Amino acid sequence: MRTARAAFSMSLVGDTEFVLLALPAEAYGSDDRISVVVDGAPVEWRIAEGAHDTRQLLFTAPAGRLDVEVESTLQSLQRPVEGADPARYLADSRYVEASALRGFVDERFGRASGFEAVDAMRNWIARGFTYSPALSAIDDTAVSTMQKAGGMCRDYAHVMIALARAAGIPARYAGVYAPGLTPPDFHAVAEVHVDGDWWVVDPTGLAPRGSLIRIATGADALETAWATTTGNPVRLTSLSVEAADDGLPEGTVDDPRQRYRIL
């Protein structure tokens, strides 16, 4: 049994359209409780399905204090997550300039392939980067993150994806709930397509990959942002994220030598 919960509050100055990615992917068949209110009054919402079984929570909220809470209970995937042609994940994307890194990848990792290359890239990032919010900016790309040699989970994922794509390995971005992550928050990891399947790679090593819960999947963070708004400025006033796995022993750490898929 796994559980996931996200709750946040925002201050709204006028009618604002929301697209929230906070629900576990459709393939889990999770049991969800959703609450959306402004100044205590319920707001109508609906769910639309996006790529890779991503579920989008859609609503328009008026001015006031917006409070949203999503709680989900799930087991494992009820069916495989709907995929896409892995070749789509070889090209450059907004935050992933793979073509600019081909020379670097050939020089540093050129003799490796498959999992050998993936492991070498993961270890290079893990050993050489500093995990620090102070090193992360909202518009950072894989190249700018490499220049800083640090950032947050989204930045680590973008670099891993860029290196893999530059080596001819399809790679994509996954936004997840991560039981065992401290402090609790939304998390981002990379997935690489090797030997006919997608395998999760997390250079941060911050959470056990065997318990990750998929929320959204895409080329990079542009396609998987947990909140997208249009209409009026918003101000986030609070955010709380929790995730738990009954089968995860307390104190479990990620073993980078193991292969995991997001289940």
Domains and CATH numbers, the chain: 2-78+225-245 (2.60.40.2250), 86-223 (3.10.620.30)
Q: What is the pTM of this model?
A: 0.95
The 10s digit of each residue's pLDDT in 207-232 is 999 999 999 999 999 999 999 999 99
Distance from C-alpha of 106 to C-alpha of 85, rounded to nearest angstrom: 25
Tell me the pLDDT of the chain averaged across its residues. 95
- Count the alpha carbons within 13 Å of 153 in the hemisphere toward its beta carbon: 21
Who contacts 196 (Cβ-Cβ below 8 Å, separation ≥6)?
Answer: none
Residue 84 has pLDDT above 80, yes or no: no
State the average pLDDT over residues 180-201.
96
The 10s digit of each residue's pLDDT in 132-179 is 999 999 999 999 999 999 999 999 999 999 999 999 999 999 999 999
Query: To the nearest whole percent, how much of the chain has pLDDT over 70?
Result: 99
Q: Which amino acid is at 53?
A: D
Dump the DSSP string for 79-124. SPPP---GGGGGS-BTTB-GGGGHHHHHHHHTT--HHHHHHHHHHH
Residues pairing with 7 in the sheet: 69, 240
Tell which residue, 201, 216, 209, has the closest CA to residue 245. 209
Tell me the torsion sign for CA atoms 219, 225, 230, 233: negative
Return the CA Rg of the chain.
18
pLDDT for the residue numbered 3: 97
pLDDT for the residue numbered 251: 87
pLDDT band at 78 (very low <50, low <70, confident <90, very high): confident
The 10s digit of each residue's pLDDT in 40-59 is 999 999 999 988 899 999 99
Residues pairing with 62 in the sheet: none
